[in-house]
């Protein structure tokens, strides 16, 4: 994963969108962002085309969830059209929370609490019956994003908007917060200042939400270790965390 904190850009691969300045894949369309699994093309001033590079991604489920969340008042991009591999979505204008951290590191506490608050708002919503279970509970499953890191929040004129719902599921809110802790915590961040900034961010996230991630951290570590896109540094951090948790 790529995380930018206190001006540092880290890692080689990223699950969030990276700006691109060239044409690719679709003639006549501008490729404006590239993620781990999909590309984003500009259609016009108000819409983008998000195209998965591999078939089999659940665009119908992802779009259905975003439409459901929008109806519940949760900040997500508007969905216009859906096919097996494509989604036409609202074009969002503004920096990611990750970019805002890099530009204004003194705001790390406020931005971290914002991210924690987005967790709380999401976890206030009961999961619809059709949402796949992940980290399930005894019967009070909530909507989980499961990749809610600073690169997946766009700071728009109407407020923060959460993107990339491809990993979402129904389950325990503690697992969602734990995945954020593990994703940000395992990022390859060089330099003492950047590591201190990451620590402040993670504490602010927990301070901004009412859910203790501790009971689900080990499960989050195990789930993250299964990600084929991990960097060597991320994988090493996660394996070390798993070994420490397992004990002698």
145-187 pLDDT per residue, tens: 999 999 999 999 999 999 999 999 999 999 999 999 999 999 8
Rounded-to-integer distance, Cα 68 and Cα 66, Å: 5
Number of helices (H), then strands (E), belonging to the chain: the values are 7, 12
**Are the C-beta atoms of residues 216 and 172 closer than 8 Å to each other?**
yes
Global pTM value: 0.85
For 116-144, how does the pLDDT look when each residue is reduced to its tens digit (9 = 90+)?
Answer: 999 999 999 999 999 999 998 888 999 99
Q: Cα(50)–Cα(40) distance, rounded to whole angstroms?
A: 4
């Amino acid at each position: 994963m790529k995380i930018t904190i206190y001006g540092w850009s880290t890692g080689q691969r990223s699950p969030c969108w990276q700006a691109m300045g060239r044409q690719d894949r679709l003639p006549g369309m501008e490729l404006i962002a590239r993620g781990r699994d999909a590309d984003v093309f500009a259609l016009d001033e108000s819409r983008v085309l998000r195209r998965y590079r591999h078939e089999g991604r659940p665009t119908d489920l992802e779009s259905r969830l975003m439409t459901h969340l929008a109806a519940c008042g949760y900040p997500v991009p508007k969905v216009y059209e859906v096919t097996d591999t494509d989604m036409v979505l609202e074009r969002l204008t503004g920096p990611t929370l990750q970019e805002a951290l890099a530009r204004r590191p003194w705001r790390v506490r406020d931005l971290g609490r914002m991210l924690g608050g987005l967790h709380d708002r999401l976890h206030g919503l009961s999961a619809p019956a059709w949402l796949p279970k992940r980290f399930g509970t005894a019967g009070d499953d909530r909507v989980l994003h499961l990749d809610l890191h600073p690169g997946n929040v766009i700071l728009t004129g109407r407020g923060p908007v959460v993107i990339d719902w491809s990993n979402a599921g129904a389950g325990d809110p503690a697992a969602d917060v734990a995945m954020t802790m593990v994703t940000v915590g395992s990022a390859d961040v060089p330099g003492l200042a950047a590591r201190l900034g990451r620590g402040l961010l993670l504490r602010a996230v927990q301070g901004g939400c009412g859910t203790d991630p501790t009971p689900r951290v080990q499960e989050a570590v195990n789930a993250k270790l299964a990600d084929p896109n991990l960097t060597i540094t991320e994988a090493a951090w996660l394996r070390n965390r798993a070994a420490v948790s397992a004990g002698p």
